Amino acid sequence: MKTTQASSGNALGSKRDMIYISQFNQLALRDAAVSEVKIFDTTLRDGEQTPGIALSLRDKVRIAEALDEMGVHVIEAGFPTISEGEQQAVRSIAELKLDSRICGLARSTRKDIDAAMSCGVDYIHTFIATSDIHLKYKLKMSREEVKSRAIEAIEYARSHGLTVEFSCEDATRTDLDFLKEMHIAAQDAGAQTINVPDTVGVISPAAMEYLVSELVKVTKVPISVHCHNDFGLAVANSLAAVRAGARQVHVCVNGLGERSGNAALEEVAMGLFAYHGIEAVDLSQIGQVCRTVSRLTGYPLPNNKPIVGKNAFAHESGIHVHGVLGNASTYEAFVPELVGMHRQIVLGKHSGAHSVRDKLDQLKIDVPESLLPVLVNRVKELAETGKEVDDAELMALADHIMARGDRQDIVKLKEFAVFTGKGITPTATVTVEMEDGSSNTRSMTGIGPVDAAINAIRGAVNESIILDEYRLSAITGGSDSLCEVTVVIKDSSNGGKASVGKGIGSDIVQTSVEATMNAINRNYHRIKEDRN
């Protein structure tokens, strides 16, 4: 195991400097001194029970290796009794001889325990339901029957030298006196850890704190918790349990698991670190492990997923970017590198000059201060249409604006509309304002909307202009990439000289119009220069 309860000196000290949480945590948690909490990962068992997920043996092995590498204490590798394939996967993981303990799930029956043992695991997690709801509608057993079934299973597993963790399934809806009776019976039978599942995700943090503090009174072995997220409280409930004395937490990477999932490994690990100073796993591996699991399971990470979502360290608004660039603590709870992530300055409709300047500096593009507002406006205009401007596109926009420099347009486009559709001849109407302030409006058709638009511009500005060349390219390969249009025009009234114009934008027709207007203005500037 590479990193575990890292209360050790400097490394942790410097990591503590990477986190900027509220001082009220310390005040509120001063009586909850916790020194060690184990991470029991069930991504390969409860996580695989997520609807739509089915991992191959190879993928399971890769996930187990990644979890081991990050320092997870126990890996629940599967539920061997369910199939031969499941047994093969658990066996393959057990054979890796990882530092993490490898565990198999088993109901409280000899058959299930034998199936787990046949995979070579030395740790089992055995369970039986204890709530009256489950006893009545599922097991159709009495409390006494359930208790003796649990005792028999624990003793059987212990007699085979296995480490045993026992769970009262649906513990959070079980009668408290009976739950305590079960804990006492389980530990007397030899269970080394007793887990408290919130099977249906129905408890609240305050109630979990109460429940665990009651169970601690009768339970001599470490208490673990297994929280489901049906009310979105799995992580909060797990941390509440730790405050009350739980010393192990069941988690799934990315919060996978039955229905709304289980407590997310990455969130629990960061909660333990932030609020109790415990580095239960190597935090710097979190980003990588979460991405790997997302890829292998085919379950995308929501953009706003805490800790590892695309937006977890993305800043767009000018105020936030300005703050973060001055000092990350202004708008970040912790430094992204702490969890193997990176900060991202996103250029969008809330971006200001600071964000654009910072991005340009990163890309080593030197845009003069006088042109920065033009560039910022272009970025915002594009963002208004829902477009996020990436690095390649920003470079192209900056190039484009710098090539144009401070030059003012001689002919200005005032209005533009294009009408097209199936079975309709594309027709464009443009209104331009000429140098003397007069307005010209023309409507023209074309073989496509771009052709119609360029014809209308020619008609409104100058019929002696012809389109000599037209090139269209996407700046990046993406389907929402900005496009770049280059046009070459020739003006027979100016000796047939060629002028080049470029446009960059998200709409091909509008960008073609921009490129054409650019070329026309270049032509007119050239004519003026020639005259002087």
- At 448, which amino acid appears? G
Interface ranges with ligand KIV (CB under 6 A): 46, 127, 167, 169, 197, 199, 226, 228
Query: Does residue 94 sit in helix, strand or coil?
Result: helix
- Residue 249: HSE in the Cβ half-sphere, 13 Å Cα cutoff: 35
Contacts with 53 (C-beta within 8 Å, 6 or more apart), sequence order: 47, 256, 297, 298, 299
Distance of CA 82 to the CA centre of its chain: 32
**Contact region for Zn ion (CB under 5 A) — 38-46, 146-154, 329-337, 400-408?**
38-46
**Residue 81 contacts residue 111 (beta carbons within 8 Å):** yes
From residue 39 to residue 58, the character string flagging contacts with Zn ion as x (rule: CB under 5 A) and all else as - is -------x------------
**Residue 228 contacts residue 261 (beta carbons within 8 Å):** yes
Q: Which does 167 bind (CB under 5 to 8 A by kind): ligand KIV, Zn ion, none?
A: ligand KIV
Radius of gyration of the chain (CA): 33
The burial class, CB within 10 Å (0-12 / 13-18 / 19+), for 407 is exposed
Task: Confirm or reject binding of residue 484 to Zn ion (CB under 5 A).
Answer: no
In the complex with ligand KIV, the residue whose CB is nearer, 197 or 449, is 197
State in angstroms the smallest separation of the CB of 113 from ligand KIV.
Answer: 14
Which two tokens mark 344? 């991202």
The burial class, CB within 10 Å (0-12 / 13-18 / 19+), for 58 is exposed
Q: Which does 219 bind (CB under 5 to 8 A by kind): Zn ion, ligand KIV, none?
A: none
In the complex with ligand KIV, the residue whose CB is nearer, 76 or 316, is 76
In the complex with ligand KIV, the residue whose CB is nearer, 15 or 101, is 101
In the complex with Zn ion, the residue whose CB is nearer, 60 or 490, is 60
In the complex with ligand KIV, the residue whose CB is nearer, 138 or 407, is 138
DSSP 8-class letter at 416: E
State in angstroms the smallest separation of the CB of 42 from Zn ion.
Answer: 7
Q: Which residues pair with 472 in a beta bridge?
A: 485
State in angstroms the smallest separation of the CB of 197 from Zn ion.
Answer: 6
In the complex with ligand KIV, the residue whose CB is nearer, 89 or 263, is 263
State in angstroms the smallest separation of the CB of 367 from ligand KIV.
Answer: 56
State in angstroms the smallest separation of the CB of 52 from ligand KIV.
Answer: 18
Contacts with 301 (C-beta within 8 Å, 6 or more apart), sequence order: 254, 290, 291, 294, 308, 309, 310
From residue 93 to residue 132, the character string flagging contacts with Zn ion as x (rule: CB under 5 A) and all else as - is ----------------------------------------
Residue 403 has phi, psi (to 5 degrees) of -65, -35
Q: Which does 484 bind (CB under 5 to 8 A by kind): Zn ion, ligand KIV, none?
A: none
Which two tokens mark 403? 């090539």
State in angstroms the smallest separation of the CB of 172 from Zn ion.
Answer: 12
State in angstroms the smallest separation of the CB of 124 from Zn ion.
Answer: 16
Contacts with 186 (C-beta within 8 Å, 6 or more apart), sequence order: 150, 151, 154, 166, 168, 194
Q: Which residues bind Zn ion (CB under 5 A)?
A: 46
